[in-house]
Structure 1
């Protein structure tokens, strides 16, 4: 663009010349003036190109309609490709978020709030399926127009399992130590994982995650859904970070009697799907010390629900 700047200076200089068109004749020294005129035409063309007269990229957006008849705009942020935009708005993550908004206890259910616009900002693919979706929603109070905080990191449902192993009169909890880059720390936490796109088999996902992260097989029939003890108003889910993330968590309990050899074989065991970036070490800790040893919200929530359910006699006899 430096060349354009030099050309524009030539135009300014040309404008100061006392030159008429009839002077542009070779006999009147018009060759120089004629060359300058051609220079002007080139400069005017380059100047138009530099000033933004060229066609701008077409913005990606569309209008979507809710069952109530209300409509809102969905647009792609700068840098998002058309294919990424289509994947985002067609994803289960986005559709489930809209469904939650319109559910019985959803934000839009009573008409006091309305959705005006959604800006899709990015996606992360896990193979051929969408893993994470980032967008900003403009949700306003219908009466005052005040906007609610609307930055959303969508990742969908997940599961975690509180595994309690009884051996020689003591109860142990099984944890995983994992690298958690977002917090910059190694975290002791319950075995956990994301539920496949579309909901999938939640109990089956929990069992599979334990096999992958711990290396032991669980009997599905012995799994106890701790979140099922919550009031129906909660949708029997735990929301770890609803201020920014849509994740809804199912917590399960698994109890078993094992010999000391099992406890020793699990301690320090290295597990995880290495080709998926899972660097996991297994830890077995006394259950009565667990609440002090972990900063994992999944573990602390599972302990709280388990202890309250046990107090109220809600657990199956085999898991009490």
Structure 2
């Protein structure tokens, strides 16, 4: 394994949470090939080398993003695509607001909060999307979600009021399942698994608010200005989320999870 320079020791990469999670997940998945039932058992793939190609640091010293090339091949000379952009986990936030004069236990007049902000990797200065943020290494998924809701939406929401939609939709590994074939992936969505390790659990929060306050959300400016965040909020009807957020994988996944889980009576 090579690192970008002697100034940045390889030990820093080995302690990088995103790298540790990725390598342990990959190594476990490779180990499942030992089972005779695995498709690749006759000629299993092996991780032979990792080349670190580029790194980004946050705040000057904290490892942020890593671009690497993993050499994974079998003894027949067949290789698997191994270009990886490591960035770790994020959280997506589905916040539903409903006027409090609407009867309880109805889907009428539910609205979703979207953020409009610059997303330079997409070439956009105003991309509508579900609120999201990177997971703090020292916290929990739900804690990170509550923090992002406060920063991006200016709402104080206790962790206990958040529902993890992906956890409800993706069952945990069953104790009686075949451990020799079961991979240990996150209970989250993977928006770009062909190139990135990023995984995103989707959290739901539903809040009833006075009708007169709803209009105040659209066009509201939020975000941490010291972190150069420039976020404008947009309130859209729940039934139009699939269209308003059609460019955002998080929004479409949240919509599908919400509809599916409601149909099964889980939320």
State the match for 1:263 in structure 2: 214
Aligned-residue offset at 1:159: 0.5
Q: Which has the higher contact order (CA 8 A, sep 6+)?
A: 2
Aligned-residue offset at 1:265: 2.1
State the match for 2:88 in structure 1: 156
| C-alpha distance 275-81 of structure 1, shift in aligned 2 (>3 A) | farther
Unpaired segments of 5 or more residues in structure 2?
35-43, 103-108, 174-184
TM-score, normalised on structure 1? 0.70
State the match for 1:194 in structure 2: 134
- Is residue 2:21 matched to residue 1:91? no
Aligned-residue offset at 1:108: 4.1
Q: 1:130 aligns with which of 51, 56, 63?
A: 63
State the match for 2:7 in structure 1: 82
State the match for 1:139 in structure 2: 72
Alignment of 1:56-135 (within 5 A): 74-76=1-3, 80-83=5-8, 85-103=10-28, 106-111=29-34, 112-127=44-59, 128-135=61-68
State the match for 2:115 in structure 1: 176
State the match for 2:187 in structure 1: 236
Alignment of 1:31-42 (within 5 A): none
- Residues 96-119 of structure 1 show CA distances to partners (whole Å, capped at 9, x for unaligned) of 11111123xx13432521011101
Write the distance in 2 (CA, Å) between the matches of 1:81 and 1:285: 51
CA contact under 8 A between 1:84 and 1:123: conserved in structure 2?
no
- Is residue 2:153 matched to residue 1:214? yes
State the match for 2:164 in structure 1: 225
- Residue-pair matches, total: 236
| C-alpha distance 75-131 of structure 1, shift in aligned 2 (>3 A) | same
Aligned-residue offset at 1:237: 1.4
Unpaired segments of 5 or more residues in structure 1?
1-73, 316-320
TM-score, normalised on structure 2? 0.83
Write the distance in 2 (CA, Å) between the matches of 1:299 and 1:190: 5
The structure richer in helix per residue is 1
State the match for 2:38 in structure 1: none
